[in-house]
């Protein structure tokens, strides 16, 4: 029996490596691939049966559902619905860890930032907001957002309330979507009628957290936050706050935690900010529109731009390793609070140098969390004069358009 198990483990590992290295167009058909994977899955299930404790039938269907699971559009690499990963499929069905072959280029784990524009009626102005989403293996876990008028408020924090049992996230069908709830627990038991997020966070301050976005010095001087794709813009920081400061910050937030009262608040400084990940600009061309569910004539909604929202990919952190599980603020604090700099939960693609480098040579060394950069008269951006002049002119055009109330989307 021992020789059989050893031989079978070798066969599974060989099959997984073969499937990951081969391009799927080389197979005769998709059905052949499915049958091969399903046979491996069935044999794995038979091998794992123990006379002392048999596995329920539901566990097999759960494994199949997990293997063929697709990503949320917000969390997919290409911002498309139904995007999956062959590596994830093979790994789930065979039970073989394929981490040694590198990260999956499809299943995204990390933070994504989108600009969301809400269109309610013809006589109301567009309501823009910055939406921060945490994704794990392509699934949306929780979100935070910040309302703004003309441009993103880089000097204000992004705060979120994440209770231990109910991790919430925005959804296009419901105002709230709940994750990881026990089967016998309903959202109404956690969120009573008329209770705001601000009140819930006030009663559970330990699960109230704030983040800060900071730009590099070369981008902090711009009047409009517009960037070319795939540029290193800055970094994402976690604000390490005590309970007294948290209560003070909470008092200045709106009921939905999306609006911060005040122009500048020194929330994250060099002493309290914990670097998480670099921020990379995304491509605006991957934008899409979502019409309010239940619309009888969605085409007219798109033409009149009412009861709909437009979502623009804005920034993201490098793809990370999901083997660490859900983003845990507690574990992040314990690992990133060292004086030598953070040990990131995900190996950053920007950190191409060894992690043993001194702090002043890491990606966050030249980023001020509060963006208090000192400019002198000789300071010039690293762009050429022609490109810099073109960007400044384009910023002036956007400013004039927004001042006149013109939609620049």
Which three-class secondary structure state does DSSP give residue 279?
Answer: strand
Structure confidence at residue 189 (pLDDT): 37
What are 312-337's pLDDT values in tens digits? 999 999 987 555 444 444 444 444 44
Beta strand spans in 120-245 (E): 127-136, 139-147, 158-161, 167-169, 177-179, 208-215, 232-239
Q: Is the pLDDT of residue 179 over 60?
A: no
Q: What is the mean pLDDT of residues 381-409?
A: 53
Structure confidence at residue 287 (pLDDT): 86
Structure confidence at residue 296 (pLDDT): 61
CB 227 within 8 A of CB 200: no
What are 113-164's pLDDT values in tens digits? 999 998 877 777 788 999 999 988 888 889 998 998 888 889 889 999 988 6
Domain extent listing, the chain: 2-101, 110-403
Higher pLDDT, 189 or 36: 36
| Paired tokens of 401 | 């358009």
Distance in angstroms (rounded) separating the CA atoms of residues 85 and 108? 10
Most confident of 80-89, 148-157, 338-347: 148-157
- pTM of the predicted structure, to 2 decimals: 0.63
Q: Percentage of the chain surpassing pLDDT 90?
A: 23
């Amino acid at each position: 029996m021992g020789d059989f198990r050893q031989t079978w483990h070798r066969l599974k590992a060989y099959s997984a490596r073969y499937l990951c290295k081969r391009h799927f167009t080389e197979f005769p058909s998709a059905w052949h691939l499915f049958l091969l994977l399903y046979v491996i899955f069935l044999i794995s299930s038979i091998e794992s049966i123990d006379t002392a404790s048999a596995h329920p039938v539901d566990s097999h269907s759960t494994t199949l559902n997990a293997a063929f699971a697709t990503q949320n559009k917000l969390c997919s690499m290409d911002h498309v619905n139904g995007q999956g990963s062959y590596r994830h499929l093979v790994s789930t069905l065979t039970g073989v860890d394929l981490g040694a072959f590198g990260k999956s280029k499809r299943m995204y784990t990390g933070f994504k930032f989108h600009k969301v524009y809400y269109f309610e009626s013809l006589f109301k102005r567009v309501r823009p907001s910055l939406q921060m989403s945490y994704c794990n293996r392509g699934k949306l876990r929780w979100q935070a957002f910040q309302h703004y008028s003309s441009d993103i408020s880089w000097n204000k924090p992004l705060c979120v309330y994440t209770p231990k049992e109910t991790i919430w996230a925005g959804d296009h069908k419901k105002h709230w979507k709940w994750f990881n709830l026990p089967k016998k627990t309903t959202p109404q038991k956690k969120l009573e009628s008329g209770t705001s997020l601000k009140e819930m966070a006030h009663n559970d301050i330990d699960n109230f957290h704030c983040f800060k976005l900071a730009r590099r010095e070369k981008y902090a001087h711009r009047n409009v936050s517009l960037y070319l794709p795939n540029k290193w813009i800055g970094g994402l920081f976690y604000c390490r706050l005590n309970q007294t400061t948290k209560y003070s910050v909470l008092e200045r937030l709106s009921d939905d935690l999306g609006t911060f009262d005040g122009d500048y608040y020194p929330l994250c400084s060099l002493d309290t900010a914990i670097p998480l990940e670099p921020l990379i600009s995304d491509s605006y061309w991957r934008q899409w529109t979502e019409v309010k569910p239940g619309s009888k004539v969605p085409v007219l909604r798109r033409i009149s731009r009412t009861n709909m929202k437009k979502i623009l990919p804005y920034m993201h952190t490098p793809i990370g390793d999901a083997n660490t599980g859900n983003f845990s603020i507690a574990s992040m604090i314990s690992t990133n609070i060292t004086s030598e700099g953070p040990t990131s939960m995900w190996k950053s693609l920007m950190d191409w140098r060894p992690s043993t480098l001194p702090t002043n040579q890491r990606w966050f060394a030249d980023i001020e969390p509060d963006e208090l950069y000192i400019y002198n008269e000789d300071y010039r951006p690293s762009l050429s004069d022609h490109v810099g002049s073109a960007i400044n002119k384009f910023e002036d055009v956007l400013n004039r358009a927004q001042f006149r109330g013109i939609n620049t989307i």
